[in-house]
Chains A and B, each alone.
Chain A
Amino acid sequence: MRLLASLALQNLGRRKARSLLLIMAVAVASGVVFTGATLMRSIDSSMEVGFTRLGADMMVVPEGALTNITAALLTVEPTDLVLDEDLFAKAGITSVSRAAPQKIARVEHSGIGSHHDSVDLIGFDPALDFTVRPWLVERINRDMKPGDVILGAGRDAALGSELLIFGKPHTVYGRLGRTGVGTHERGVFMSFATLEALAGSVHGPNGPPAVLQKGKVSGFLVELAPGATPLQARFAILSTLKGVKVVTGDSTMSGIRQGLAALLNGILALMVLMFASTALMVSVLFSAIVTERRGELGLLKAIGARRGQIVGMMVIEAVIATGAGGVLGVALGVLVMRLYERSLVYYLENIGVPFVWLDGPSIVIVAAAAIVMASIIGGLGSLYPAWRASRRDPYDLVRGEG
């Protein structure tokens, strides 16, 4: 193995120009793969955040509840009526992709703001939510836990500070950006458990609001499944669930969301096609290199190299060259992404469009995958022609046949 690796390295070292060209070609290809994959994943995440900021496609509330429709459906509206929290989980409606339950209690004398101010305490399920957390502009660097609250943009308190609600201490976990939606901007958001824990402190004319009971919610924010139309979903919901009302948001937004998602999928398919053609190109390149070196391989066989040694040497050489190309490609990709960050991302963030970079560990995984993929492509690309050449008689190879 050491001998084969050493022969491979010597080959690469002595054929500097060819090795360099090969490494550069692979570097460009793997750089495109690395940068493309990272940017596409980042754009995907950014678009998801952007899309969810557009709000839900529709809202499902108890029949008889009064609703004040806004351009963006980000929170349910306060109402005395309630629905079961597991309504959608039980129904399994295929035209609905996500249904995020929310509880909302409009309370007075909570200790937030001035004495007579009413405050919307909004409970949400972090696991299903898609209209609250995407608007987080700052938060404590840990997961949300019981007792944490998130403040709408219209409320002012320092991150991490203590906030007393009905005399009970809560921690300001995060703050939301401006949405222009009153309930969202004035709301104090928390988990269901945190909100339910306040039930004993909230007093209305008929006792604590029903929505503060466990298992009850004020309504659901609904996202349509890909390809489903608002009309289809509305029909499916009304025919499946009893005692509900469907409030439809701006259907233009739903159309844009679904259209852009389809476009992104189309771009991803194009990238996959490009990666496949790169792999094919590298394979053809190695096939040509093996053909060019038939004489040398024949000579090695003549002096006693076994078939495994011939194939091993060629594959190791290819893996070293393409692996080096992969590393160089990742380095070039990092430079390209730096430029991208300082130009387009900077511009997007200046105009308030969020750009969510892939997290560090994921970038490392993509980089490692790009390098490994480059090496595998090189190895596989050289394997077949090397194996074919190794089957020939040494005399045929030396004479340039086979």
Chain B
Amino acid sequence: MLSCRGLRKDYVTERGEVAAVDGIDLEIAAGRYAAIIGRSGSGKSSLMAMIGGLSRPSHGEVRVDGTDIWSLSENGLAAFRNKRIGYVFQFASLLPTLRLVDNVALPAMLGGGGRSSATYSRAAGLLGQMGLGDHLDAYPSEVSAGEQRRAVIARALINEPALILADEPTSDLDEQTEIEIMDELLAVNRERGTTLILVTHNLALARQAEQIVHIAHGAIVA
């Protein structure tokens, strides 16, 4: 499913080039739940961004289902992100000017689905599954942080991706909400067979994963 070879990411700082990710090789099988753990600044988010087609590696390749995603054209990569990957970020990543149902439907519309009733009924269905059926027309600022995160999960699922990348999705939530959000993500992984890669520094969450990748100073240590 996911294969990384010699993945490296350098950032230019005032003190010269710094390698955030330093030559990582990684394999994650389809349908797995993998956790990438490490301390703040260890390079786990940079690794996740390269895996997800969000940040171009300085060196190395990322293959998702055999496709070298960084060899795709700009529009090809955009289409790949749109159809094959769902993101759940560590911040409230809903567009504040759109209703929840619009936010969830947006990836499908951007991918060429248009503003069809089928897209909207699918978005409404996903929000219903996340317990937000009564908040379709609410704006992000009108719902709680936990509900926003559920809406983000619904958005990540709208195009039925093969891979969900969740970058510390519960870092700003209370314990109870964190459990609920993780339950939703794990349910997606189990019931839909969607590969789930979770970036976290919460070891308790990581322990539930089938594969744990421990990163320190930009390299895999375990």
Question: Which A residues fall within an 8 A CB radius of B?
Answer: 2-3, 6-7, 10-11, 13-15, 296, 299-309, 393-396, 398
Enumerate B79-138 residues with CB–CB distance to A below 8 Å. Answer: 79, 81-83, 87, 89, 93, 95-98, 102, 106-107, 109-111, 114-115
Q: A138: shortest Cβ distance to chain B, in Å? A: 59
State in angstroms the CA–CA spacing of A301 and B75 once bound together. 10
Report the minimal beta-carbon distance from B103 to chain A, rounded to whole angstroms: 9
With CB as the reference atom, state the residue of chain A lying closest to B139.
Answer: A14
Give the CA-CA distance A210 to B56 in the complex, in Å. 92
Residues of A with C-beta under 8 A to B115: 2-3, 6
Given A6-B115, A309-B110, A299-B95 contact (CB < 8 Å): yes
B97 and A14 contacting across the interface, CB-CB below 8 Å = yes
Q: How many A-B residue pairs have CB under 8 A?
A: 76
Report yes or no: A398 in contact with B54, Cβ–Cβ below 8 A: yes
* B74 vs chain A, min Cβ distance (A): 6
Determine the chain A residues whose CB is within 8 A of the CB of B114 once the complex forms: 2-3
Q: Say how far B199's CB is from chain A's closest CB, in angstroms.
A: 13
Chain B contacts to A: CB under 8 angstroms: 46, 49, 52, 54-56, 74-75, 78-79, 81-83, 87, 89, 93, 95-98, 102, 106-107, 109-111, 114-115, 139, 155, 159
Q: A10-B98, A398-B89 are in contact. Are A303 and B106 (CB under 8 A)?
A: yes
Task: Please indicate the chain B residues that have their CB under 8 angstroms from the CB of A7 in the complex.
Answer: 97-98
Question: A305, B78: Cβ atoms under 8 Å?
Answer: yes
The answer to whether B97 and A11 touch across the interface, beta carbons within 8 angstroms, is yes
Q: In the complex, what residue of chain A is closest to B113 when comparing beta carbons?
A: A3
Check B87 against A303 for contact (C-beta < 8 Å).
Answer: yes
B107: which A residues are within 8 A, CB to CB? 303-304
Across-interface contacts of A304 in B (CB, < 8 A): 78-79, 81-83, 107, 110-111, 159
Which chain B positions have C-beta within 8 A of A296?
95
- Which residues of A have CB within 8 Å of B54? 301-302, 393-395, 398
CA–CA, A107 to B90, complex, Å? 100
